[in-house]
Amino acid sequence: EIYTLSLHDALPIFDSTLKRVQEMGLRVNDTVRIMYNIVPYFIDSYHDGDYPIPLPQKCPICGDNLDYLSSTIIRCQNPNCKGLKLGAIIRHAEKMHMVGIGEGVITKLYDNEFITCISDLYDLRKWDDCIAQTPGFGYTSYDNMLKSVDTALANATLERFLGALPFNDTDEKTWKLVVNTVGRDKLIKSMVDGSFPEMIMNVG
């Protein structure tokens, strides 16, 4: 569907379209046409607004400074930002192919303090009945959650697991190159004996 909206009123729902805003040179109070297909998409603008839309400089979650690596890669500089931590867990579950454990489920677990970091995903059994009795879950969904985590871990390659960790600008493909270069056994040994950082720095 296509709508005509005041950009000033619509801005709060367009967190993922910053690049498009820049490409079109949109201004505050522009009237725009928008097509909705899961994510809102700007079609065109009457350019009847007042002044260029300023780029946000502060993280909307914690208020710390944003680091603009590009128009599509923007990171909060606060390592303790709730948004960064929650985002890292959501990305990990997605990259590990944890079926049924999406953003909504993880956010609810995070808000109820059942998980605070990636490793907590693998330790959900310590909560036993607590998660199952939390509104919105139940015993069936809790059991399915445990099975999904177990299956994802059992089926994951080393490079997939490493690619799902919050290392900036690395993914499964990058880690596959590292594994092939270093050797799987040597890489795993370095992770166990604590020499992993030094070993990675000397890959050549």
CB-hemisphere CA count at 13 Å for 140? Answer: 1
Question: How high is the pLDDT of residue 18?
Answer: 77
C-alpha to C-alpha distance for 202 and 190, rounded to whole angstroms: 12
Question: How high is the pLDDT of residue 16?
Answer: 56
Q: Can you give the C-alpha Rg of the chain in angstroms?
A: 21
Count of H-run helices and E-run strands, the chain: 10, 5
| One-letter amino acid of 42 | F
The structure tokens listed for 111 are 């808000």
Contact assessment for residue 97 and residue 155, using Cβ atoms and an 8 Å cutoff: yes
Per-residue pLDDT in tens (0 to 9) along the chain, 204 residues:
566 656 666 555 555 577 788 888 888 888 888 887 767 788 888 888 888 888 788 888 899 998 887 666 788 889 899 998 999 999 999 999 999 999 999 999 999 999 999 999 999 999 988 999 999 899 999 999 999 999 999 999 989 998 998 887 788 888 888 888 888 888 888 877 878 777 776 665
51 DSSP assignment:
S
Contacts of 182 by beta carbon, 8 Å cutoff, 6+ apart: 199, 203
Question: How high is the pLDDT of residue 9?
Answer: 61
Question: How high is the pLDDT of residue 197?
Answer: 72
Question: How high is the pLDDT of residue 3?
Answer: 62
User: 38-65: buried (b, 16+ CB within 10 Å) or exposed (e) per residue?
Assistant: eebebeebeeebeeebeeeeebeeeebe
Q: Give the CA distances from residue 146 to residues 132, 149, 155, in Å, rounded to whole numbers and listed in that order.
A: 11, 5, 14
Q: Read off φ and ψ for residue 43, nearest 5 degrees.
A: -95, -55
pTM: 0.74
Contact assessment for residue 91 and residue 166, using Cβ atoms and an 8 Å cutoff: yes
